[in-house]
Amino acid sequence: MTEVKPRIGFIGLGIMGRPMAENLLRAGYPLVAYNRSSDKVAALVEEGAQAAENPAQVAERSDVVITMLPDTPDVGEVYFGSQGIMTRIRPDHLLIDMSTVSPAMARRIFANAEAHGAESLDAPVSGGDVGAKAGTLSIMVGGSQPAFARAEPIFQVLGKSILHMGASGAGQVTKACNQIVVALTIEAVGEALVLAQRSGVDPAKVREALLGGFAQSRVLEVHGQRALEGRFEPGFRIRLHRKDLHIALDTAQSQGVSTPVTALVHDMMNSLVAHGYGDEDHSYLIAELAGRANIELS
């Protein structure tokens, strides 16, 4: 017995969204796509997708709508704009926002969907364009258990680690926590390696020594090595990580949580973006510390 696959609407065919949509097409899902610049839709049509002219049309012609957009305002426009998804919302709809946005936006979508009898999930990812292509993303999901169960076969096409974190917004909160820890650990590794080098101790040896003990982290392993080799091509761009820390700070403020180091590292990323380094990998934080000490690690 073969199950009839739901029609998927896909909005946002950027560096992440396009390979995700392609994986869903390959898995046999009927797919209708929309993107602000239409050439990306045309490319996907050649692979079997249908084209839509705006988010409202996508909603009209699909059962499950997935959005993968750069930032909170983009998501606001696609859901709540004059040609947005919510203009055609139906009770049988499942809306899945896989963008990284504020938990508040996730809850706003959820409340609106619920008011129309529809379901929604926030499901931000980590794993980058490599994970998107390979279908090995980590997916952090917030929303009801039935909605999660309904979305699970779709998530399994896109990702490897699929975690139901709690009610609406819980996926975005988890992503914000992840981005805090990654950013602050990069900074920690940078301060240590620059101090080592400037004090005349081989930072490669220090990285090795620290990896064997309590200072071990994936960031020390991966970005420590990157910094030692002077490789700062993205990867994950500073301007995007800055955006994610901004979401974390916004959420912290609204919840009355003190996050002093997140605030400081966010400000350092602001400075890097202002100085023209927004498109470098986020590990460029380490190069910036090295520059302040007038050295290079590589």
Residues 40 to 59 in contact with a second copy, rule: CB under 8 A: none
Question: Whole-angstrom Cα distance, residue 249 to residue 150?
Answer: 32
Of 54 and 174, which CB lies nearer to a second copy in the complex structure? 174
In the complex, the smallest distance separating the C-beta of residue 1 from a second copy, rounded to whole angstroms, is 34
DSSP, collapsed to helix, strand or coil, labels residue 127 as coil
* Cα 19 to Cα 202: distance, rounded to the nearest angstrom: 41
**Interface pick for a second copy out of 58, 176, 228, 297 (rule CB under 8 A):** 176
Measured from the CB atom, the residue of 62 and 259 that comes closer to a second copy is 259
Stretch that binds a second copy, among 4-12, 55-63, 67-75, 179-187 (CB under 8 A): 179-187
Least CB distance from residue 86 to a second copy, whole Å?
24
DSSP symbols for 156-192: HHHEEEEEEEESTTHHHHHHHHHHHHHHHHHHHHHHH
Q: Is 20 in the site for a second copy (CB under 8 A)?
A: no
Return d(Cα 124, Cα 122) in angstroms, integer.
Answer: 6
Site for a second copy in 86-125 (CB under 8 A): 103
Nearer to a second copy by C-beta: 42 or 264? 264
Q: How far apart are CA 214 and CA 155, in angstroms?
A: 35
> What minimum distance in Å lies between the beta carbon of 245 and a second copy?
11
Q: Which residue has the tokens 């920690």?
A: 188
Is residue 175 flagged as an active site residue?
A: yes
| 244-283: contacts with a second copy (CB under 8 A) | 248, 251-252, 255-262, 264-265, 268
Encoded one letter per residue, x for contact with a second copy by CB under 8 A and - for no contact, window 131-170 reads: -------x-x-x------------------x-x-xxx-xx
Task: Dig out the tokens for 136 from the structure.
Answer: 């090995």
The strand pair at 31-34 and 64-67 is best described as unpaired
Q: Least distance (Å) from a second copy to the CB of residue 16? A: 16
The residue from 5, 133, 175, 243 that is catalytic is 175
The Cα–Cα gap between 235 and 212 comes to 26
Instruction: Report the alpha-carbon distance of residue 56 to residue 71 in Å, rounded.
Output: 19
168 — phi, psi (to 5°)? -50, 130
- CB 247 to a second copy: min, Å: 11
Q: Are strands 125-126 and 159-166 parallel, antiparallel or unpaired?
A: unpaired
Output the CA–CA distances (angstroms, integers) from residue 241 to 156, 177, 187, 260, in the order listed.
Answer: 26, 12, 13, 17
> How many residues of this chain bind a second copy (CB under 8 A)?
71
Judged by beta carbon, residue 43 or residue 167, the one nearer a second copy is: 167
Residues 184-243 binding a second copy (CB under 8 A) are 184-185, 187-189, 191-196, 198-202, 205-206, 208-210, 212-220, 222
Which residue lies nearer to a second copy by CB, 6 or 166?
A: 166
Instruction: Count CB neighbours of 116 within 10 A.
Output: 12
> Least distance to a second copy from the beta carbon of 222, Å?
8
Q: Which two tokens stand for residue 212?
A: 């064997």
Active site positions, annotated: 175
